[in-house]
C-alpha cells in the first residue's frame, strides 16, 4: 500500500478524483511509454505524420494503459509529475508533447480533443504506479478502495489542527467516506437533475467503479459487486475494450468476498498455509465458483496472463479441487512450489493465548514493560480509529489487553511503533511515529510510569 499511495501523490488522481472531483482544468490525456529515447523519437515522428496515437500505444507502449490506446482518463495536469506537467504547458487539444524522460522510460503525451476524452475508464489507482518505476512488473487492478479513500479524505474540509487530535482524524475519515459514498450515489440517482442519467456511458461506468471502490473499503462486498457488475454491463454494451479488465476485477472481487464469507481473515487456520492440504476447502463456495467463471472468461482472451492464472488456481484451491480440477491449459503445477528444504510446522496459538486481535497492518513490540520478567506485547494499527493494544503477559501462556487501564486507549493509529527507555529510569517507553507518506500527523512519546500505566509527554 505504501508504494501505491506514494505513487498517487507523484502522478495523478484516481477514478473518483477524475470524475466526482473533476476540476475545470482537467483534460483527457493519452500516453505512450517506451524503453529508449530513439524509439520514442521514432514514434513521435510517426505521430507527426498522422499515425493514430491509440494504435501506436496499443502496439508499442509498455505502460498498462496500452490496451486502452494509452488513455489515462480526464486529469488535471497540475496533479501529474513535474516533468509531465511542464511538457503539457501551452498545448491545445490534439497536440503532442516531445519525448519526456520518466523513471519507467520515455513518454509522449497527447491532449485529447474534448469529444474523445471520455473514451475509456482511464487509469486505475494500481495503474498509476508504473509511471514511477514499473519495469516489467504487471500490477493487477486495485479493488481495495484504499487509494480512492485517501483522495476523498484529502478533499474533505477539516478543522484547524485536525491532525494533532487523533479523534478528529478518525471522525474526519469517517465523514470523508460517508460524503464520498453520498456523492457517488447522487451522481447515479436517475432522479437527480445534476446526475449522470444523460451522461456518456464511460462517465457512468466510472461512477459505478468509484462507488464500488468505496463500498469495498467499507467491507460491503455485496454492494460493491452490484456496481462492478453495472460497470461490466456498460463495458459489454459500449466499451468492449474494457471487458477483460472488468472480468479480472470481478473475478478478484468474488474471490475476496469468498474469503470474507468463509471468515478466512478472522479464523484462517490451515486455509492460509500454502500449498493447501488435501482436506482444505471452503464451506461456502458460491463466490469462489463465480470467481472461476470470470477468471476463465478473461483467460479465454488472454491465455498467457500468469497473474490471472495464479488467481484461478487459488480459486480452485478454495474448492478443494487443486490441482485435479484446474483445466490443464491453465494449471500451475504443484511441482512449481516444491522445495527440498523444510522449516517445520508452526501452529497459530494466538487465539488461545488471548492475542486474537483483528486489525489492519501495524507495528508490534515484544518487551517487558512492567519489569516482571515476562514479555508483554504492544500493537498499533494503520487504521486511524483503532487504539494501541497492550497485552499484559499473565505468566501462564496467556495475555490480557490492558490498554485502557494503561492509559493507551486514546492513542489511535500508528503504522509503526518502537520502544526505548528514553529517560533511563529502568522502564521501557514507547514512541509512535505517524504520518509520513500519508499526511502529516503528530507522533506520541509515551512515558512508562513504572506502575503499569503510560503518560503522553509529547
Instruction: Concatenate the DSSP letters of all residues of 188-203 into one string.
Output: H-TT-TTSSTTS-HHH
pLDDT per position as a tens digit, 261-291: 999 998 888 888 777 777 789 999 999 999 9
Q: Is the domain covering 27-132 a CATH 3.10.50.40 domain? A: yes
pLDDT for the residue 140: 65
Burial of 222 (0-12, 13-18, 19+ CB in 10 A): exposed
pLDDT for the residue 353: 95
CA 453/CA 458 separation, integer angstroms? 16
**148-334 adopts what CATH topology?**
1.25.40
Q: Is residue 393 a contact partner of residue 412, using CB atoms and an 8 Å limit?
A: no
Residue position matching grid coordinates 474469503: 259
CA 382/CA 52 separation, integer angstroms? 46
Listed in order, the ranges of the chain carrying CATH 1.25.40.10 are 148-334
| DSSP bridge partners of 391 | 377, 401
pLDDT for the residue 21: 35
Listed in order, the ranges of the chain carrying CATH 3.10.50.40 are 27-132
Q: Give pLDDT < 50 ranges for the chain.
A: 1-24, 119-137
- Angle at the Cα of 318 (from 313 to 324), degrees rounded to 5? 55
pLDDT for the residue 147: 76
pLDDT for the residue 346: 85
pLDDT for the residue 4: 33
Residue 407 neighbours by CB under 8 Å, 6+ apart: 453, 454, 455, 456
pLDDT for the residue 12: 34
| DSSP bridge partners of 430 | 419, 446
Cell digits of residue 52: 493514430
pLDDT for the residue 138: 54
CA 152/CA 154 separation, integer angstroms? 5
Q: Is residue 389 a contact partner of residue 357, using CB atoms and an 8 Å limit?
A: yes
Q: Is residue 220 a contact partner of residue 257, using CB atoms and an 8 Å limit?
A: no
Nearest to 378 by CA among 429, 316, 424, 338: 429
Amino acid at each position: 500500500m505504501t508504494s501505491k499511495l506514494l505513487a498517487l501523490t507523484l502522478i495523478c488522481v484516481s477514478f473518483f478524483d477524475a470524475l466526482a472531483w473533476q476540476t475545470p482544468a482537467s483534460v483527457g490525456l493519452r500516453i505512450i511509454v517506451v524503453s529508449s529515447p530513439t524509439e520514442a523519437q521514432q514514434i513521435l515522428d510517426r505521430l507527426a505524420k498522422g499515425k493514430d496515437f491509440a494504435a501506436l500505444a496499443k502496439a508499442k507502449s509498455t505502460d498498462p494503459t496500452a490496451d486502452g490506446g494509452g488513455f489515462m482518463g480526464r486529469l488535471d495536469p497540475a496533479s501529474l509529475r513535474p516533468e509531465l506537467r511542464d511538457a503539457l504547458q501551452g498545448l491545445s487539444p490534439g497536440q503532442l508533447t516531445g519525448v519526456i524522460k520518466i523513471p519507467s522510460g520515455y513518454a509522449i503525451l497527447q491532449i485529447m480533443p474534448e469529444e474523445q476524452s471520455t473514451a475509456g475508464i482511464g487509469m486505475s489507482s494500481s495503474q498509476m504506479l508504473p509511471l514511477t518505476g514499473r519495469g516489467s512488473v504487471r500490477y493487477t487492478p486495485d479493488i481495495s478502495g484504499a487509494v480512492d479513500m485517501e483522495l476523498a479524505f484529502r478533499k474533505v474540509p477539516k478543522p484547524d489542527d485536525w491532525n494533532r487530535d487523533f479523534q478528529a482524524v478518525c471522525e474526519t475519515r469517517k465523514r470523508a467516506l460517508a460524503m464520498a459514498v453520498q456523492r457517488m450515489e447522487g451522481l447515479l440517482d436517475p432522479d437527480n437533475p445534476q446526475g449522470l442519467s444523460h451522461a456518456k456511458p464511460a462517465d457512468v461506468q466510472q461512477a459505478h467503479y468509484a462507488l464500488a471502490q468505496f463500498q469495498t473499503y467499507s467491507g460491503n462486498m455485496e454492494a460493491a459487486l452490484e456496481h462492478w457488475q453495472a460497470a461490466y454491463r456498460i463495458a459489454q454494451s459500449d466499451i468492449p475494450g474494457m471487458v477483460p479488465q472488468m472480468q479480472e476485477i470481478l473475478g478478484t472481487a468474488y474471490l475476496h468476498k469468498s474469503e470474507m464469507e468463509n471468515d478466512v481473515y478472522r479464523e484462517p487456520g490451515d486455509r492460509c498455509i500454502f500449498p493447501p492440504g488435501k482436506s482444505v476447502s471452503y464451506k461456502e463456495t458460491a463466490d469462489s465458483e463465480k470467481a472461476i467463471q470470470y477468471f476463465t472468461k478473461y483467460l479465454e482472451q488472454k491465455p498467457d496472463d500468469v497473474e490471472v492464472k495464479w488467481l484461478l488456481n487459488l480459486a480452485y484451491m478454495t474448492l478443494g479441487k487443486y490441482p485435479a480440477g484446474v483445466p490443464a491449459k491453465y494449471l500451475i503445477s504443484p511441482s512449481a512450489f516444491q522445495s527440498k528444504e523444510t522449516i517445520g510446522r508452526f501452529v497459530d496459538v494466538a487465539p488461545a493465548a488471548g492475542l486474537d486481535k483483528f486489525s489492519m497492518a501495524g507495528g508490534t513490540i515484544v518487551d517487558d514493560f512492567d519489569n516482571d520478567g515476562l514479555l508483554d506485547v504492544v500493537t498499533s494499527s494503520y487504521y486511524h480509529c483503532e487504539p494501541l493494544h497492550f497485552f499484559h503477559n499473565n505468566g501462564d501462556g496467556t495475555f490480557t489487553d490492558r490498554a485502557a487501564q494503561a492509559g493507551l486507549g486514546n492513542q489511535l493509529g500508528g503504522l509503526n511503533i518502537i520502544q526505548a527507555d528514553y529517560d533511563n529510569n529502568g522502564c521501557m517507553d514507547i514512541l509512535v511515529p505517524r504520518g509520513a507518506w500519508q499526511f502529516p500527523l503528530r507522533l506520541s512519546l509515551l512515558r512508562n510510569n513504572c506502575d503499569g500505566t503510560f503518560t503522553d509527554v509529547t
